[in-house]
Amino acid sequence: MNFEIWDVHTHLSGVPGDAPEACLGRLIEFADRLGIARLCVMMGMKPNYDPSPENMRQQNDEVLRAIKRFPDRALGFVYLNPRHTQASLDELNRCVRDGPMVGVKLWVALRCNDSSLDPLVARATELKAPVVQHTWLKITGNLPGESTPMDLAELATRHPNATLICAHTGGDWERGIRVIRPHAHIFADINGGDPTAGFTEMAVRELGAERVLYGSDAGGRSFASQLAKVLGADIPDAAKRLIFVGNTKRILQPILRAKGIKL
Amino acid sequence: MTHHKPSVNGLGSPCRSQSGAVPPAERTSKSVCRRDFLKTAFVATSVAALSGPTSPRAAEVKPSGLIDTNVYLSRWPLRRLRGDDTVALVAMLQAQGVTEAWAGSFDALLHRDMAAVNARLAEECRRHGAGLLVPFGSVNPKLPDWEEDLRRCAEEHQMPGLRLHPNYHGYKLDDPDFAKLLRLAAARGLIVQLVLIMEDERMMHPMLRAEPTSVKPLAAVLKQTPRLRLQLLNSQRVLCGPALASLAAAGDVSVEIAMLEGVGGVLKLLADVPLHRVLFGSYAPMFYFESALLKLQESPLSDAQQRAIRCDNARRLLAKTR
């Protein structure tokens, strides 16, 4: 029983190293120990909640440097801040249209139901780039710009052709899964929370295995704890294959093909 | 994205980034470990699943006995778990190569008849534990006549240790009753497992919120209880780095790895805590068991380090109870 594994959600931060290439190299060393073939990398070595246009570019430059060193192991996602719409569009064009990146990452600068996201999501959809949106539902209280799965569902309604990835599935996954369930173009990225048993089973039961993605949130999280969510789940091996690699490949296939990248 | 400010995602904690019934008399932990070191071919399906061509290091992990110091029986109050039936849990643990598991009870969190909780735990381990489960009863020092619960754990149930849940029982670690409990436990040679959290505080049920236990008073209490052997469970989210190192130096304090996070987390942990104080713990069935097991694969550990964490350290800690 061997699985090819692609990790749809990793970072340079939280990994030892004084340069982007060193951080990614170290991350890949740990990934190799667990059989993870490819990493989607997003955000720079020192992430910022609300990056300025300059900081956005710097963080994306760090990812570009890192993935250039490991072209067969890493794919880049461009980090955008919807508070800076034009700068984000420029960055999207620079890194995805004209560069090697294949997806978009949005974090906590602005809740994603805000109309400021519309031009960004529309452009990402034109470029066939999936959009990873951080989401969390905290009983302790979200940050002011921190999105919930409900916010993402609103965005999804406005962008029926977009490919949206609900990062962390809202953290509170028993609610998050229910929120995104009616929106077939929202995928559940199960990374980032504790490896609580039952998470993946419920996601597969309610969404179908075709809408569930493995990601880790490494380096802040362990690859191990997040892999366990799939490996330890009481689901068929066919579902695990979809979650580990099949769905991510399917989502990325259009943009990879457009860029002439063969899998 | 895990980051350096409080509570966005990732671990949402200060520690987020960087990164033994005595076993039945006829079965010593040591013998089990040796036996299983020889016979357990690391049967864990998780590891087998990752032993494909892209995981060159997987095959290098050496088989070993495995003592899981953090499992629970009965039912989590808010969710059914695969493995909340003892027979199913034991079958899973055996399939994963576990040779011994220190078990508490979810019932201990909210039930007030702690004597019944502990009696059921002991009976469940005896009847369905397949020689693998070791019961760790719970004592709530805020209940009337709690000293009798402690006595029964030690004398009637022959438990080698206790598992405490301060944040569910409503006391702080500077509570005099807590200090007294530790003194009595130490006097009886009982291991004390102190559970700092049961789940991520950010996603708790709104009607059942239990703030993490603050360990700030603990070092002072430990210094007053020199013979105590303490193990912290589910501690990594709220205690790491210099604070953990300092606490580990304040007494005979061990940790386990169920809530350890960050890439290469075990390796990082060993920078703060001496190897002989790091034990294996899965927090099954609440957590997928594979999480803890794979952490031992994720970090580049020597065979000696693997053996110490998987088995030898727990065995040594347990041996001190006799």
Over residues A12-48, the pLDDT tens digits come to 999 999 999 999 999 999 999 999 999 999 999 999 9
**Residue B43 clears pLDDT 90, i.e. is over it:** no
Region B55-60: mean pLDDT is 40
Burial A185-204 (b: 16+ CB within 10 A, else e): bbbbbbbbbbbbbbbbbbbb
In B51-110, the residues whose Cβ lies within 8 Å of chain A are 51-58, 79-83
CA dist., res. B263 & res. B260, Å (int): 10
B12 vs B113, residue with greater confidence: B113
Region A88-93: mean pLDDT is 98
Question: What are residue A125's phi and psi, to 5 degrees?
Answer: -65, -40
Query: Looking at the structure, do residues B271 and B211 belong to the same domain, yes or no?
Result: yes
Region B278-291: mean pLDDT is 98
Q: Is residue B309 situated within a structural domain?
A: yes
Q: Is residue B11 situated within a structural domain?
A: no
Query: Looking at the structure, do residues B207 and B229 belong to the same domain, yes or no?
Result: yes
User: Where residue B217 sits, what CATH number does that domain have?
Assistant: 3.20.20.140
CA dist., res. B266 & res. B64, Å (int): 17
Query: Looking at the structure, do residues B103 and B201 belong to the same domain, yes or no?
Result: yes
Query: Looking at the structure, do residues B29 and B101 belong to the same domain, yes or no?
Result: no
Query: Looking at the structure, do residues B104 and B202 belong to the same domain, yes or no?
Result: yes
Query: Looking at the structure, do residues B42 and B75 belong to the same domain, yes or no?
Result: no
In B278-317, the residues whose Cβ lies within 8 Å of chain A are 284-295, 297-300
B51 vs B31, residue with greater confidence: B51
CA dist., res. B301 & res. B11, Å (int): 24
Query: Looking at the structure, do residues B187 and B273 belong to the same domain, yes or no?
Result: yes
Query: Looking at the structure, do residues B41 and B144 belong to the same domain, yes or no?
Result: no
A43/B288 CB distance under 8 A: no
CB contact A36 to B (< 8 Å): yes
The rounded percent of chain A whose pLDDT value lies above 70 is 100
- Number of A/B CB contacts below 8 angstroms equals 219
Query: How many domains in chain B?
Result: 2
Residues on chain A touching B266 (C-beta within 8 angstroms): none
Q: Is residue B103 situated within a structural domain?
A: yes
Query: Looking at the structure, do residues B260 and B149 belong to the same domain, yes or no?
Result: yes
Query: Looking at the structure, do residues B283 and B195 belong to the same domain, yes or no?
Result: yes
Lowest mean pLDDT among A91-95, B14-18, B95-99, B299-303: B14-18
Write down the pTM of the prediction. 0.91
Average pLDDT, chain B: 85
**Residue B51 clears pLDDT 60, i.e. is over it:** no
**Residue B53 clears pLDDT 50, i.e. is over it:** no
* pLDDT band of B310, cuts 50, 70, 90: very high
CA dist., res. B136 & res. B68, Å (int): 13
Residues on chain A touching B206 (C-beta within 8 angstroms): 139
**Residue B35 clears pLDDT 60, i.e. is over it:** no
Query: Looking at the structure, do residues B219 and B101 belong to the same domain, yes or no?
Result: yes
Region B194-215: mean pLDDT is 95
Question: Which residues form the domain of B152?
Answer: 65-319
- A82 three-class SS: coil
Q: Is residue B16 situated within a structural domain?
A: no
- Render B195-241 in DSSP notation, one character per residue: E--SS-GGG--TT---PPPP-TTHHHHHHT-TT-EEEEES-TTT--H
Question: What are residue A188's phi and psi, to 5 degrees?
Answer: -95, 115
The rounded percent of chain B whose pLDDT value lies above 90 is 79
pLDDT at residue B23 in the model = 27
Q: Is residue B312 situated within a structural domain?
A: yes
Q: Is residue B60 situated within a structural domain?
A: no
**Residue B17 clears pLDDT 50, i.e. is over it:** no
Residues on chain B touching A59 (C-beta within 8 angstroms): none
Whether residue B173 contacts residue B221, with contact meaning beta carbons closer than 8 Å, is answered with yes
Q: How far is A5 from chain B (nearest CA, A)?
A: 9
Region B132-138: mean pLDDT is 98
Measuring CA to CA, which residue among B291, B16, B258 is closest to residue A223?
A: B291
In A82-121, the residues whose Cβ lies within 8 Å of chain B are 107-108
Q: Is residue B173 situated within a structural domain?
A: yes
Average pLDDT, chain A: 97
CA dist., res. A72 & res. A67, Å (int): 9
The rounded percent of chain B whose pLDDT value lies above 70 is 80
Tracing tokens 């984000």 back to the chain, one arrives at A88
Find the distance separating the first CA and the last CA of chain A, reported in whole Å.
21
Residues on chain A touching B51 (C-beta within 8 angstroms): 2, 35
pLDDT in tens, A134-168: 999 999 999 999 999 999 999 999 999 999 999 99
A220/B52 CB distance under 8 A: no
Query: Looking at the structure, do residues B139 and B278 belong to the same domain, yes or no?
Result: yes
Q: Is residue B155 situated within a structural domain?
A: yes
